[in-house]
Structure 1
Amino acid sequence: MSGLTVSAVPLNVSPNLQQFFTRGPPVSLSCVEDGQTVDGWTVKTTRGGQIEECGAAGSDFGRLDGSSCVLDVSTKFSTDHWCESSSGQRSDQVTITVTDKDLILEIPALPVLTGSDVTLSCRNRNGDKVKAYFYKNGKVTEDKLQRVQQSDEGLYSCFTDEDGKSADSRLRVRDPPPTSAPQTTTSSTTTTVYAATSFNDNNNNTDARASFSPPLSLIRLFLHVMVFCPYSICTILMVSICYSRKTGNKPVFSMEMTQCDDQYDDIIDNITTNHFRAAQM
C-alpha cells in the first residue's frame, strides 16, 4: 500500500455528516478504498495538540470495532480526523463537531463532485428539521446548491430565531475522476480507415482500367493506316501513269493502266469495307 497517493484512501464518515449532538447516535470512521477498508491505514486525530490513534492504549479518542473507529460522542468536541498509513501518508482531513447546542447544520463530510446538487438542512435536538437562514462565509445563501463548483467551497452555518446559530462546517468540492475513452471510438476510427482504404482501392482499380484503354485507340489507328496506305500507293501510281502518257509511251502503259484501274476499283471497295467495319468498332 506504500505506492498509493495521499488521496487514494480517504476517510469515510458514517453517517456522512460533520455535526452531531452529544449523546446522539454513534459515529463511525474508517479508511476505505473502492468501498473496502484498507489494511495498514489507521484513523487519527489531534487532541490537546497531540496526535492520537483510534483504539490506542490510554486514549479515549475512540474504540475499534473491526476495521472501523467508533467515536465517543458523550462530550462535545471539534477536532480534525484523517487516515494515515504506516509510511506516513495522509488523507484529507475532516473536522467532526459534537455539540451540546440545540441546533446542528447537516452538511456532507465527504467531498462533493462538481456538477452535483447539494441540499443543506438545519436540525434541532428533538430530531426535527427546521426552517432556518443559511450562511456561507458569514453571508446569506440558499439551502439548495445546484451544480456546485469550486467557488461553492466555504464555511456554512444555519440560524433560527428560536435556537440561535449552529457551528461552522466546511463544504469541500472535488472534480470527478477521469474516465477512459469508450471502445466505440476505436471501432469508428477503424471503420473510417477501412472506408478510406476501400475508396483508394477503387480509385486504383479505376486508374488501372483506364491504363488499358490505349490498345483500342491503337487498333483504330492501325485500321486508318491500313486504309490510307493503299490509297497513297494508288495515287502515286496514277501520277506515274499520267506522267508516262505525256512522254508518249502510250502502248507500254495501256495495259498497266487498265490493270491499275481494276486494282484501284478493288482497293476502293476494300477501303470502303474496312472503313465501315472500323466505324462499327
Structure 2
Amino acid sequence: MFKEQSVSLSCEEDDSSAGWTLRRNTSGETRTQCGDGWGRPAGSSCIISYMDPSQSGVYWCESREGATSNSITITVTDGPVILQSPVLPVMEGEDLTLTCQTETSSILPAGKPNTTSPPTSSPPAPETTSAPAQTSDPPSTSDLLYLVIRLVCHLVVFCPYCISTFIMVSLYRQRAKGNDLSVSMVTTPPTRAEEGLDENYDDVTTEHHF
C-alpha cells in the first residue's frame, strides 16, 4: 500500500465462533487489537483511515475462544512505485507475473535489470576448466596518499628513536674507552729534612701503574 491510503479489514464469522477481533504485529507492537491506539472497530471489521510505513506488519483475526485465522502481511511504502509479486512462493518452472503499481497514471516496466547482453538462439558455449584471467586495478590516488601519510607517520616516530639510540651508543663507547686508559701514580717520598733521615739514603721514586 501507499502512504496515506485507507484500508478496511474484515473477519468472516461463522456459527461456531463469535466476537472476532483484528490483531497485528508490527515493528513496535505485538498482538495489539483494533482500537488500541490504531484503527476504528466496526463490528468484526477494522477501518484504518491513514496508513503509514510504521503500520507495516502482520494482521490476523482472533476469536474470543482463541481461534485464529490465516494472517496477511501489509507493507506500506513511502515511495511512488510498488512492485507487486505473488503472495505464495513460486516453484521453479512456473509462470510468474510482476506488476508495477504507481501513485500516478504512468506506466513502468517490471523485471530484472539487464546486466549482460540479451541471450541469443545459439547454443551455449562449452565450459572450460581454465581459470579466468585476473586483472589488478592500479591503486587510486587516495590509496597512494594514504600510503604516503603512513610512511611519514612511521618516520616521525622512528627517527627520534634512532637518534636517541645512536647518542646512547656513542656515550657508552666513549665511557668504555675511557675506562681502558692506564692510570699512573708517582709517589715521591718526603725529604730527609722532613723525616729526619740520614743523608746517606738515596732518593727513591716509586711508580705504580694501574
Under TM normalisation by the shorter chain, which class is it? 0.3 to 0.5
Give TM-score, length-normalised by structure 2.
0.42
Scaled by the length of structure 1, the TM-score of the pair is: 0.32
Query: Which structure shows the higher strand fraction?
Result: 1
- Which is higher, the Rg of structure 1 or of structure 2? 1
